[in-house]
Amino acid sequence: MTKTTLVEEILKKQSYLCVGLDSDIEKLPKGFPKTAQGVIEFNKAIIDATAEHCVSYKVNTAFYESLGVKGWQAMEETLAHIPSTHFTIADAKRGDIGNTSAQYAKTFFEVLPFDAITVAPYMGKDSIEPFLAYANKCTIVLGLTSNEGSQNFEQQKLATGQFLYESVLEQVATWGSTDQIMFVVGATKAKEFESIRKIIPAHFILVPGVGAQGGSLEEVTKYGKNKEVGLLINASRAIIFASSENDFAEKAAQVAKQYAQEMKSLLS
- List residues with catalytic annotation: 93
256/254 Cα distance (integer angstroms) = 6
CA distances from 253 to 59, 223, 259, 266 (A): 18, 27, 10, 20
Per the CB < 8 A criterion, the answer to whether 232 and 16 are in contact is yes
From CA 67, how far away is CA 73, in angstroms rounded? 10
Nearest to 263 by CA among 19, 87, 21: 19
Residue from 149, 155, 104, 153 nearest 127 by CA: 104
Alpha helices in the chain (DSSP H): 3-13, 36-50, 62-65, 69-81, 98-106, 125-132, 164-172, 193-199, 217-224, 237-240, 248-267
Phi, psi dihedrals of residue 233, rounded to the nearest 5°: -90, 115
Residue type for position 242: A
**Spacing of C-alpha 160 from chain mean position:** 30
Phi, psi (rounded to 5 degrees) for 87 = -80, 125
Count other Cβ atoms within 10 Å, centred on residue 245: 10
